[in-house]
Amino acid sequence: MARSHLMLAVFLYFCLCMLPSLCQNEETQALIEFKKQLTDPFKYLASWKDFESPCQFFGVSCDPKTGMVIGISLDNKSLSGEISPSIGKLKSLTSLVLPSNLLAGSLPSELNNCVNLRVLNVTGNNMNGTLPDLSKLKRLQILDLSINYFSGAFPAWVGNLTSLVSLGLGDNEFDEGGIPQNLGSLRNLTWLYLAGSHLTGEIPESIFEMKALQTLDICRNKISGNLPTSIGKLSNLNKIELFLNNLTGELPVELANLTLLEEFDISSNQISGTLPPEIGNLKSLKIFHVYKNNFSGKIPSGFGDMHHLIAFSVYKNNFSGEIPENLGRFSPMNSIDMSENKFTGRFPKYLCRRKSLQFFLAVENNFSGELPDSYGSCESLVRFRVCQNNLSGKIPDGFWSLPNVKMIDLSNNHFSGGISTIIRSAASLSQLILSNNRFSGEIPNELGQVSGLEKLYLDKNEFSGRIPAELGDLKQISSLHMEDNSFSGPIPSELARCSRLVELDLASNSLSGSIPSSFSMFLSLNSLNLSGNKLTGSVPTSLEKLKLSSIDMSNNQLSGIIPSDLWTMGGDKAFIGNNRLCIDESTRSIMKSDLSVCYQKTGDKSNFMKRRIVLFYLIVFGLIVVIGGLMLVSYANFRHCEPSLGKKDEKGKGDDSKFRLESFHLMEFDVDEICSLDEDNLIGTGSTGKVYRLDLKKGSGSVAVKKIWKKDAVKVLTAEMEILGMIRHRNILKLYACLINEGSNFLVLEYMANGNLFQALHRQIKGGKPELDWHQRYKIAVGAAKGISYLHHDVSPAVIHRDIKSTNILLDEDYEAKIADFGVARLAEDSNIGSGFSSLTGTHGYIAPEMAYTLKITDKCDVYSFGVVLLELVTGRKPVEDDYGEGKDIVYWVTTHLNNKEETFKVLDRKVVSEDIQEDMIKVLKVATVCTSKLPNLRPSMKEVVKMLIDAQPHKSSVHTGKNEKVDMYT
């Protein structure tokens, strides 16, 4: 009975389904199911309703004859969620286009049922998992799966999709491996995008059989071998992108057969040899990038009569000879970079003929002669850097007033002549670098009208005359270098109006008169050099107000008493060579000095200094008492490591089995356990010792045991015990106990299940997702900030950690951050006293810039280092990476990306950013940039940092509120 009902139902279903209009019901259901799996914040899918014809649905198209769904197109609609397998029910589907959304999850294998599919485009989503074999979809013409997180083996089955015209698989997380040989069967392919997908090995020969190919993009992989001659067979190519690979060998002449080639980028490989002269016949070329290779020889003269060339970059090679004279004569050249080669001869004079040149870089070559006159009318120029060449002669007049130029760097050449008064019209100029040339004459007053000027380097030239008072109008200037010239006359007191000045160097001139007392208004000044002049009068006491970290007034004719704070900062060497300067007797008792002593009544000042000294001794005395006391206490508690401890004896750690145990927290464990550490449980090696995990016998969980290197033991133990022993804070690692004997020293610490922040940031969970999403990172940032803020502001005396970095921030099982490793920490009070007390510590990439010229440790050093940690959280990058450039770090790298919104978004960690949190990440990026201000006094205190971070809390509900908010990094 029931069975016959069922049969009837099945029969009816089949009958009815012969009529397309009823079948639509099934398609509607499939689409409703598809919608259910998605989050659609902007309600694009509002029209997708039950009992409606799917042909009315937004983004859905139907076959006009059959009424069946043939296309779904939802491009850039902020959709998240996953693609439902119900998609497989749309039997007539020919096109599924869902690019630039936030789709996650894997690609459903049910797509194989859509046998009519011609276009599948899901580029730019967050999809992951391994790809299903889609080789049954024989009609596919466009397959774009690029820019996702797909993993597993590189899909070799695509070689069977012989109808393909466009194939994008790049920027995924495929396993490392070669390009499949069978890709060459795709004879209709015009577009191949395999960038950034962990490809290794050589380009298979079969690739060069894809005669229709127009775009070959395999950049950012590990492709090796050379570019074979068969590249010449791909005569339809207009774009070759092979930059950032390991290509070697020489370029084949056959490249010249590619007469349609418009873009050629093989930069950042190890290709050598010369450029075949025939390349000069590639008359369609627009972009030619071969920088960072080992090329030598000349640039083919054919580059001089290209009509479309707009970008030419050959920096960091060994090219030599002259640049083709006609380069840029017939094309709208926009940017040229010839830096770091051995080019000789003159600059090409027609380069700016079409008035489109914006970027001209020719740093570090052997170019000679004058700048061509025509450059003086190159109004499009934005950046002009030709430092370190043999250039000479005068600068063409108009050059000084180019309206768009932001940076002019002519340093380290032999240029002569003066600066023209028309410089007042250089409306965009922010950096003028003329150092080390033969420029002469007076500085025009009009230079003071270049209101955007930030850096002015006139040093090591033959300038003379007075320093114009008008320079005081440069409100934006931060670096003013005028040293090693022949300036004379007084230092204008108006200079003090440059309120953003950070560096002022007027050394080695013939300046006379006194030091303006107005200089005490320089609130941002960091270093001041007035040495080697003819300055007279006294050193203004008001300068003590400045927060300088470098000062030099040596070799002048100054007289009178040196303000003691200036002397303690600069030392003798900042004042020697001034016969009539002297130093207060009581000041001198702090540090040895060769300066003469002033015989006069000591005033309030010296009393203040005396108080400081007394304080110093008090602190030292206090420390001795504390440490002594601790040792006494611990001696009273001493216990024996039982002789029966086999392991310890085996390792021959000596006979001295007496351990002193100092407990700081209530914690039950046996000394024996600590003594028998197992190398298998090593969890880390820090700067001061090895750390082991120890699972306690009494079932009270695990602890971490740090075995301190012998040589550092006393210093480290003192620091760690003293600081950690007195601190209780949820964001600071707990010290449970301390064991001391002659041979080994152990600290027993809280065990952190998730290791350190650095590891966690670079760990991935399955599918290539990072372990820490933005919410977790944010929580860690706040926790760590609270911990450091507590050290700086809530314990007394305050503690400066001195080695804040992501490896010293540990994470417990709930990812709560705990500050660890106090091995080099200092109590704030001892940090000012003499340089002998503090050695340079910290970790490369985290050290505040002022540490290069001062050993004065302030809490602002920790703020800087914490700023670096914030940058790690926001960018997912390491503090030091090769691609920041030599000697550059993450702080530098980030600041080069803050010019506009577009660029700024690029620094955000691509693995965690999404549209709804990017504004939140930008807020934390802003905090990071103020923390890493070059000037210590522009950095906020940790208390302020905590407050700013709390204001930057991610709002889960603010999915689209932030959309139109402007990112103004520089206001």
Cβ closer to ligand NAG: 53 or 135? 135
Residue 170 contacts ligand NAG per CB under 6 A = no
Applying CB under 6 A, the span of 41-49, 394-402, 454-462, 765-773 interacting with ligand NAG comes to 765-773
x/- contact string, 92-111, with ligand NAG (CB under 6 A)? -------xx---x-------
In single-letter form, the type of residue at position 681 comes to: N
Residue 71 contacts ligand NAG per CB under 6 A = no
Q: Are residues 47 and 56 in contact, defined by beta-carbon separation less than 8 angstroms?
A: yes
Q: How many residues bind ligand NAG (CB under 6 A)?
A: 20
Cβ closer to ligand NAG: 570 or 767? 767
Residue 683 contacts ligand NAG per CB under 6 A = no
Q: Are residues 687 and 821 in contact, defined by beta-carbon separation less than 8 angstroms?
A: yes
Cβ closer to ligand NAG: 95 or 430? 95
Measured CA to CA, the distance from residue 823 to residue 811 in angstroms comes to 19
Q: Are residues 717 and 822 in contact, defined by beta-carbon separation less than 8 angstroms?
A: no
Measured CA to CA, the distance from residue 846 to residue 68 in angstroms comes to 61
Residue 304 contacts ligand NAG per CB under 6 A = no
Measured CA to CA, the distance from residue 592 to residue 135 in angstroms comes to 82
Residue 871 burial class via C-beta count within 10 angstroms: exposed 0-12, middle 13-18, buried 19 and up: buried
Measure CA 135 to chain center.
Answer: 41
Measured CA to CA, the distance from residue 145 to residue 193 in angstroms comes to 10
Q: Which of 24, 101, 128, 317 binds ligand NAG (CB under 6 A)?
A: 128
DSSP 784: H
In single-letter form, the type of residue at position 195 comes to: A
Residue 212 contacts ligand NAG per CB under 6 A = no
Q: Are residues 426 and 378 in contact, defined by beta-carbon separation less than 8 angstroms?
A: no
Residue 163 contacts ligand NAG per CB under 6 A = no
Q: Are residues 236 and 214 in contact, defined by beta-carbon separation less than 8 angstroms?
A: yes
Cβ closer to ligand NAG: 150 or 367? 150
Residue 121 contacts ligand NAG per CB under 6 A = yes
Residue 773 contacts ligand NAG per CB under 6 A = no
User: To which residue do tokens 């009539």 refer?
Assistant: 580
Residue 769 contacts ligand NAG per CB under 6 A = yes
Pairing relation of β-strands 38-39 and 80-82? antiparallel
Q: Which of 166, 238, 411, 485 binds ligand NAG (CB under 6 A)?
A: 166
Pairing relation of β-strands 390-393 and 199-201? unpaired
Helix axes 918-931, 774-793, angle to 10 degrees: 30
Residue 183 contacts ligand NAG per CB under 6 A = no
Residue 75 contacts ligand NAG per CB under 6 A = yes
Residue tagged active-site, from 217, 265, 337, 803: 803
Residue 144 contacts ligand NAG per CB under 6 A = yes
Measured CA to CA, the distance from residue 734 to residue 750 in angstroms comes to 5
Residue 910 contacts ligand NAG per CB under 6 A = no
Q: Are residues 76 and 102 in contact, defined by beta-carbon separation less than 8 angstroms?
A: no
Is 803 annotated in the active site? yes
Residue 185 contacts ligand NAG per CB under 6 A = no
Q: Which of 25, 135, 702, 718 binds ligand NAG (CB under 6 A)?
A: 135
Applying CB under 6 A, the span of 17-25, 160-168, 338-346, 543-551 interacting with ligand NAG comes to 160-168
Measured CA to CA, the distance from residue 177 to residue 223 in angstroms comes to 10
Q: Please name the residues in contact with 13: beta carbons below 8 A apart, sequence gap of 6 or more.
A: none
Which residue lies nearest ligand NAG, judged by its C-beta?
767
Cα–Cα separations (whole angstroms), residue 177 to 197, 348, 768, 942, 961? 9, 45, 17, 47, 43
Residue 192 contacts ligand NAG per CB under 6 A = no
Cβ closer to ligand NAG: 103 or 282? 103
User: To which residue do tokens 């300036």 refer?
Assistant: 487
> Dihedrals φ, ψ of 417, to 5°?
85, -175
Cβ closer to ligand NAG: 156 or 212? 156
Applying CB under 6 A, the span of 562-570, 618-626, 762-770, 777-785 interacting with ligand NAG comes to 762-770
Cβ closer to ligand NAG: 762 or 769? 769
Report, in Å, the least distance between residue 167 CB and ligand NAG: 8
Using omega within 30 degrees of 0 as the cis cutoff, is the peptide bond preceding 797 cis? yes
Report, in Å, the least distance between residue 135 CB and ligand NAG: 4
Q: CA quadruple 463, 467, 471, 477: dihedral positive or negative?
A: positive
Report, in Å, the least distance between residue 166 CB and ligand NAG: 4
User: To which residue do tokens 């779904």 refer?
Assistant: 72
Name the residue among 879, 875, 874, 882 with its Cα closest to residue 952. Answer: 874
Residue 675 has, within 13 A of its CA and on its CB side, a CA count of 28
Applying CB under 6 A, the span of 127-135, 411-419, 564-572, 948-956 interacting with ligand NAG comes to 127-135
Residue 940 contacts ligand NAG per CB under 6 A = no
Residue 160 contacts ligand NAG per CB under 6 A = yes
Report, in Å, the least distance between residue 78 CB and ligand NAG: 14
Q: Which of 767, 845, 867, 876 binds ligand NAG (CB under 6 A)?
A: 767
Cβ closer to ligand NAG: 60 or 96? 96
Report, in Å, the least distance between residue 38 CB and ligand NAG: 15
Quickly list H helices, 509-645. Answer: 564-570, 585-588, 604-636
- Is 233 part of any known ligand binding site? no
DSSP 193: E
Report, in Å, the least distance between residue 220 CB and ligand NAG: 18
Q: Which of 71, 168, 328, 867 binds ligand NAG (CB under 6 A)?
A: 168
Report, in Å, the least distance between residue 194 CB and ligand NAG: 13
Applying CB under 6 A, the span of 35-43, 153-161, 714-722, 924-932 interacting with ligand NAG comes to 153-161
Name the residue among 772, 770, 873 with its Cα closest to residue 149. Answer: 770
Applying CB under 6 A, the span of 85-93, 377-385, 614-622, 764-772 interacting with ligand NAG comes to 764-772
Residue 129 contacts ligand NAG per CB under 6 A = yes
Q: Which of 33, 37, 156, 547 binds ligand NAG (CB under 6 A)?
A: 156
Measured CA to CA, the distance from residue 554 to residue 598 in angstroms comes to 18
Report, in Å, the least distance between residue 185 CB and ligand NAG: 9
Dihedral (Cα; 892, 894, 900, 904), 10-degree rounding: 170
Residue 766 contacts ligand NAG per CB under 6 A = yes
In single-letter form, the type of residue at position 192 comes to: L
Cα–Cα separations (whole angstroms), residue 673 to 565, 693, 713, 753? 53, 11, 21, 20
Applying CB under 6 A, the span of 152-160, 460-468, 618-626, 685-693 interacting with ligand NAG comes to 152-160
Cβ closer to ligand NAG: 44 or 157? 157
Applying CB under 6 A, the span of 122-130, 562-570, 647-655, 812-820 interacting with ligand NAG comes to 122-130
Measured CA to CA, the distance from residue 762 to residue 415 in angstroms comes to 50
Residue 903 contacts ligand NAG per CB under 6 A = no
Q: What is the token pair recorded at 438? A: 């033969």
Cβ closer to ligand NAG: 100 or 499? 100
Cβ closer to ligand NAG: 126 or 634? 126
Measured CA to CA, the distance from residue 563 to residue 120 in angstroms comes to 75
Sheet strands (E) in 221-379: 222-223, 239-241, 263-265, 272-273, 287-289, 294-297, 311-313, 318-321, 335-337, 342-345, 359-361, 366-369
Cβ closer to ligand NAG: 75 or 668? 75
Positions that interact with ligand NAG (CB under 6 A): 75, 99-100, 104, 121, 123, 128-129, 135, 142, 144, 156-157, 160, 166, 168, 191, 766-767, 769
- State the catalytic residues: 803
Which residues does the annotation place in the binding site for ATP? 707
Which residues does the annotation place in the binding site? 707
